[in-house]
């Protein structure tokens, strides 16, 4: 065991695949272990580089191995795939070996292990998104049921919710359907209550986190975005610059360059979908504010936004603003600075 320097682990709920390598990269052994046996084996390991694929429970195990004296690292699944021996032979054993091989690459990029506090904050975001999806699904369900009786409510969720109470007293609707609508309203009210509780916890997280508070000072960055960013980004200095941070969020164009000719495509949309969607929503509000602003009162940033809008249209402008916001957020987090709304007056955009 003393010759082992790198250990690749393919995580799962109950069965764990292990691949141990020595300093030369030769496979020392393979193991397939149940959860209890895996913990017993891991407790006897000498200090090693323990590498896992970034997936469910990986942050827990990263903290566990770090607490037991190991160097724990997480690799994104897309970076592991090229090192699997065969696409036709995907199994736990090959995955563990591919993880170990990938970790030996000098240019490999790793996922930072989140703290318990960060994951605790993200719990409220995940719950809130789940409640929101349930609300949307339930409204679509009731809209379809009403359609069976010749009632076509508006597509807007807010308008539909306002109309539902009127359907409960409409005698032209069968009594059983009216009863179902009453039950729907009770369920929707419960979902709204649960979402409000999540919002309270998210607001408390921002209030207790200085970095998140600094982010809320930016235009287009609200409580949800600030909380999610501070919880997902372990260390902004992990990214070399703001462009890398924006690229991590999938807000840069896909590159298809060859033969010295640069060709850019649509945005990569890599990274966390939830955080990227929050930035895009914030960018939309920033764009609308810039378009409403009188030209003589517009800041240099708003002037830049309007110029981009006139040149490339709505959707590309939104992505450009989201990219700009991401770079500004990186500067605030990495340099421990406060947002300076007047910086655009002193520097070029």
Domain limits, the chain: 4-103, 116-207, 210-346
Closest CA to 317 of 105, 4, 325: 325
Closest CA to 234 of 114, 110, 58: 114
Closest CA to 6 of 71, 91, 53, 78: 71
Q: How far apart are CA 32 and CA 97, in angstroms?
A: 12
Our CA angle for 107, 109, 110, nearest 5°, is: 145
Render pLDDT for 59-70 as a digit per residue (tens, 0 to 9). 999 999 999 999
Q: How far apart are CA 22 and CA 193, in angstroms?
A: 55
Q: In residues, how long is the chain?
A: 349
Cβ atoms within 10 Å, residue 320: 18
Our CA angle for 215, 318, 309, nearest 5°, is: 125
Consecutive H or E run containing 115: none
Residue-level pLDDT at 349: 52
pTM of the model: 0.87
Beta strands (DSSP E) in the chain are 4-10, 15-22, 27-34, 49-53, 71-75, 253-255, 264-267
Residue-level pLDDT at 344: 58
Cβ atoms within 10 Å, residue 144: 9
Q: How far apart are CA 119 and CA 23, in angstroms?
A: 34
Q: Could you tell me the fold of the domain covering 4-103?
A: Nucleotidyltransferase; domain 5 (3.30.420)
Our CA angle for 211, 216, 217, nearest 5°, is: 100
Strand order, beta sheet including 49-53: 27-34, 15-22, 4-10, 49-53, 71-75
Residue-level pLDDT at 269: 87
Q: How far apart are CA 228 and CA 202, in angstroms?
A: 9
Q: What sign does the dihedral 337-240-272-313 (CA atoms) show?
A: positive
Closest CA to 202 of 278, 119, 124: 124
C-alpha of 279 from chain center: 11
Low-confidence stretches of the chain (pLDDT beneath 50): none
Cβ atoms within 10 Å, residue 47: 12
């Amino acid at each position: 065991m003393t010759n082992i320097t790198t250990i690749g682990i393919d995580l799962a709920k109950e069965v764990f695949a292990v691949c141990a390598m020595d300093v030369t990269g030769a496979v020392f052994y393979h193991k397939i272990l149940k959860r209890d046996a895996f913990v017993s084996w891991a407790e006897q390991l000498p200090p090693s580089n323990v590498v896992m694929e970034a997936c469910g429970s990986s942050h827990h195990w990263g903290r566990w191995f770090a607490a037991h004296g190991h160097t724990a690292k997480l690799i994104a699944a897309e970076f592991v795939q090229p090192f699997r021996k065969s696409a036709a032979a995907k199994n736990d054993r090959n995955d563990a070996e591919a993880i170990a091989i990938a970790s030996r690459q000098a240019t490999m990029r790793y996922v930072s292990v989140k703290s318990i506090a960060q994951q605790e904050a993200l719990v409220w975001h995940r719950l809130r998104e789940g409640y929101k999806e349930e609300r949307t699904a339930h409204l679509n369900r009731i809209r379809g049921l009403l359609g069976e009786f010749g009632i076509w409510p508006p597509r807007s969720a807010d308008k539909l919710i306002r109309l539902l109470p009127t359907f409960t007293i409409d005698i032209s609707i069968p009594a059983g359907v009216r009863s179902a609508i009453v039950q729907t309203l009770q369920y929707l009210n419960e979902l709204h209550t649960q979402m409000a509780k999540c919002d309270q916890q998210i607001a408390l997280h921002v209030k207790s986190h200085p970095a998140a508070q600094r982010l809320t000072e930016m235009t287009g960055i609200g409580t949800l975005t600030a909380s999610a960013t501070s919880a997902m980004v372990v260390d902004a200095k992990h990214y070399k610059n703001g462009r890398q941070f924006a690229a991590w969020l999938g807000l840069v164009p896909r590159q298809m360059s060859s033969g010295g000719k640069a060709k850019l495509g649509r945005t990569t949309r890599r990274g966390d979908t939830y955080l990227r969607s929050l930035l895009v929503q914030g960018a939309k509000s920033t764009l609308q504010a810039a378009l409403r602003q009188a030209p003589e009162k517009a800041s240099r940033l708003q002037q830049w936004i309007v110029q981009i809008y006139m040149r490339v249209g709505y959707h590309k402008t939104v992505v450009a603003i989201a990219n700009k916001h991401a770079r500004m957020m990186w500067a605030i987090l990495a340099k421990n600075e406060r947002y300076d709304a007047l910086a655009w007056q002193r520097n070029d955009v």
